[in-house]
Amino acid sequence: MKGRKSSTHALLRGGRRKGSYSHGFSSPQIQTLAAICEALIPPLQPWDFNPPADHTLHSFYKASGSQPPIPDEVAELMVKRCVPQAVFLVSLVLKMLSFRMGTLLLCGYLCFDTKWPFILNFSSISLEKREEILKKWSREKLLLPLRMVFAVTKIFCFFNFFSRTDENSENPTWEAIGYHVDTRENPAKPQEERPLQKGVIEMMYENDSTFLQSLTQKGLQVTEDAEQNVYKIKCDIVVVGSGSGGGVAAAVLASSGQKVIVLEKGNYFVPEDYSSLEGPSLNELYESGSKAEKLILENEKNGRMRKRCLGVIATILSETVTKKLQIEARVTVCACGSLLTPPLMLSSGLKNPNIGRNLHIHPVQLVWGYIPENISNLKGKMYEGGIITSLCKVVSGDSSAQAVIEAAVLGPASFSGLHPWVSGLDMKERMMKYARTANLVVFVRDQGSGEVKKEGKIKYRLSRTDKENLQAGMRQALRILVAAGAVEVGTYRSDGQRLKCKGIKEKELEEFLDTVTAVGGVGSFGENWTIYCSAHQMGSCRMGATEEEGAVDENGESWEAKGLFVCDASILPTAVGVNPMITIQSTAYCISKRITDSFKKQKFHEED
């Protein structure tokens, strides 16, 4: 990766962490977490496997999840990415396990010892027994919090282990598992201005002394309210979010001659900035530069019950900028996505019961198949090529669609985090086959729905029909993998459900497929469980013909607040059953065109 450092963005290069950790876990808690990570990724002795001749393979088998600074990095990642309730649960369990009596309560007889004090705390238990404890937690049916702690810790431990990089953007495990990133140096290009550079303010480079200057340099008229610690800006239109919906809306509205400001929580990247590094790239999907805190609403002057939206108040998520932004606009376009648009609208005082309901997520299950290169005409590695290269629709006997199967790429960190863990040895052997393990994604057009009323709090339960359709899709995906030449196939069920395919007959395959079902999630009461993913989120502020049927009207405008429009996937009335990106862009285009028409008719004139 050395050759590409000059061209990739600093935030996407990876490298060792600089500075102290802010996770807040105590030393005993980190010691306990290290003991759990070591049991998940244990250092294996030569007699545990056929000793490899290559020293990189030998180093991989000897590597441990307890190696510093992995436990601290795992804790840091948990605190940043998990909901507070999950962090509290993990913290509580780690604290209990740092004491002997707490370990006895959570681990039972496996913490007994023949020597004084006869009961050991978790980090003092032998590695073999710690591994047995984790297996027990994985199968736990009554004390579900232990299973949840196991799942959370396992996901973040493996993600960190296979995504962390050194100062050269390299990971010592990658060579052993057959993974590499593109290290070719990009040919030197003349320095060019980045697209939109003249109009972008990157908050990661700003502080209180430079922020005002940056705003005025962009041609914005700014007034300061020192008492409220706010900068006030006026424009024609403010767009909150720059994704498929917000980006299209901003482009259409700006091209019509309106003065448009776009608020975006993510950092600004162009194609030349990107690296192939899974860890920092996924991290930047979640990093926030600013956050729309509240919409500015006032009652209409004509006395009608409907309110009027006057803009948005935003908080800058930076320690160096303490000022808030109050952007006053004649039109506000909310394009925060289906998980964040409803919380913003509800926290601003809107009360339409459809806001936050009808959430569809295209629930996902994965299956895998191992296809050795020496017995197949299929060349290459799983992570090479396009992200999604093919698609297959599963239909029922009456020709109705049940599921969609896609051939997708998973990086080693995501693959290991999602893949079932049944033992440390099994996981390392599985990762040795990573490069030739094909993963098929199965998702359904969900008929059930959930709700999201507050940021980070989602309620969703699979309907029986959706489970049946997922099951049909998983079985068909496994048949595809067997037909493609896989010598072993399996699901992501917690017990490592799999089948050796070499020489099996169709009857044996069908008997195995009969055992493949859409089991419950981590919080379900059952010995076997799985991790569900979401392909696309939509519908949580759906469009409706009346206020009773939807949160916005046919123009995308809020029934409750004049001048407030929604331009993202949340306005879609139902799940679409395919990737909704083009649908979102098309809908946003139509809505923004109607907004421009309204401006021409002076519908949003300031005196209205």
CA-to-CA separations, 91 to 6, 288, 308, in angstroms, rounded: 40, 25, 45
Residue 410 β-bridge partners? none
How many angstroms separate the CA atoms of 362 and 403, rounded?
10
- Going by C-alpha positions, the residue among 409, 182, 137, 397 that lies closest to residue 275 is 182
φ, ψ of residue 586 to 5 degrees: the values are -65, -45
DSSP for 381-425, written as a single string: -TTSS-SEEEEEEEE-TTS-EEEEEEEE---HHHHHHHS--S-HH
> Is the bond leading into 51 cis (omega within 30 degrees of zero)?
no
Binding-site residues for FAD sit at 235-250
If residue 369 lies in a helix (H) or strand (E), which one and from where to where?
A: strand 363-370
- Sign of the torsion formed by the C-alpha atoms of 202, 207, 210 and 213: positive
- 3-state SS, one letter per residue, for 112-136: ECCCCCCECCHHHCCHHHHHHHHHH
Residue 242 β-bridge partners? none
Q: Which of 23, 55, 536, 605 is catalytic?
A: 536
**Tokens found for residue 247:** 């980006």
Q: Could you tell me where the DSSP H helices lie in 493-580?
A: 506-513
DSSP for 139-203, written as a single string: T-SS-HHHHHHHHHHHHHHHHHHHH---TTS--TTHHHHT-----PPPPP----PPTTGGG---G
If residue 291 lies in a helix (H) or strand (E), which one and from where to where?
A: strand 290-299
**Tokens found for residue 34:** 């290290």
Within 10 Å of residue 421's Cβ, how many Cβ atoms?
Answer: 25
Q: Is 536 a catalytic residue?
A: yes
Exposed / middle / buried, residue 266 (Cβ in 10 Å: 0-12, 13-18, 19+): middle
Tell me if residue 22 falls in helix, strand or coil. Answer: coil
CA-to-CA separations, 109 to 359, 428, 495, 606, in angstroms, rounded: 45, 28, 23, 73
Binding-site residues sit at 235-250
- Sign of the torsion formed by the C-alpha atoms of 340, 538, 412 and 27: positive
Amino acid at 403: A
Exposed / middle / buried, residue 22 (Cβ in 10 Å: 0-12, 13-18, 19+): exposed
Catalogue the active-site residues. Answer: 536
